[in-house]
Amino acid sequence: MRPFDYQRAERLAHAAQLTAQSDTLALAGGTNLVDLMKLQVETPQVLVDIGRLPLGTIEAEGDGLRIGALVSNTDTAVHPRVRADYPVLARAILAGATQQLRNKATTGGNLCQRTRCYYFTNIDQPCNKREPGSGCGAIDGIARIHAVLGASTHCIATYPGDMAVAMAALDATVEIASENASRSVPVREFHRLPGDTPERDNVLEPGEIITAVTLPAPVGGTQIYRKVRERSSYAFALCSVAAVIDLADNRFTRADLAFGSLAHKPWHDPRLADLLIGKEPSLALFDKAADLLLEDTQGYGENDFKIPLARRTLAAVLCEATGVEA
Longest alpha-carbon distance in the chain: 63
Q: What is the DSSP letter of 223?
A: E
**Could you tell me what percent of the chain has a pLDDT over 90?**
96
- Please, what's the b/e burial string for 246-275 (b: 16 or more CB within 10 A of its CB; e: otherwise)? bbeeeebebbbbbbbbbbbbbbbbeebbeb
Examine the fold and report which residue of 49, 66, 82 is the final residue of a domain before the chain moves on: 49
140 contact partners, CB below 8 Å, separation of at least 6: none
Count the domains in the chain. Answer: 2
Nearest to 136 by CA among 147, 146, 128: 128
Q: What is the CATH number of the domain that holds 239?
A: 3.30.390.50
CA distance 313 to 243: 11
| 136 lies in some domain | no
Name residues of the chain where pLDDT drops below 70: none
Q: What is the CATH number of the domain that holds 23?
A: 3.30.43.10
Which residues span the domain enclosing 280? Answer: 222-322
Q: What mean pLDDT value characterizes the chain?
A: 97
261 contact partners, CB below 8 Å, separation of at least 6: 145, 158, 159, 160, 236, 237, 238, 239, 240, 306
pLDDT, residue 307, reads 98
| 98 lies in some domain | no
| 20 lies in some domain | yes
| 285 lies in some domain | yes
| 44 lies in some domain | yes
| 128 lies in some domain | no
Chain segment 77-92, per-residue pLDDT in tens = 999 999 999 999 999 9
Chain segment 200-241, per-residue pLDDT in tens = 999 999 999 999 999 999 988 999 999 999 988 778 999 999
Chain segment 42-77, per-residue pLDDT in tens = 999 999 999 999 999 999 999 999 999 999 999 999
| 297 lies in some domain | yes
| 25 lies in some domain | yes
Nearest to 156 by CA among 142, 138, 144, 140: 138
Backbone φ and ψ for 278, nearest 5 degrees, come out as 90, -5
**pTM to 2 decimals?**
0.97
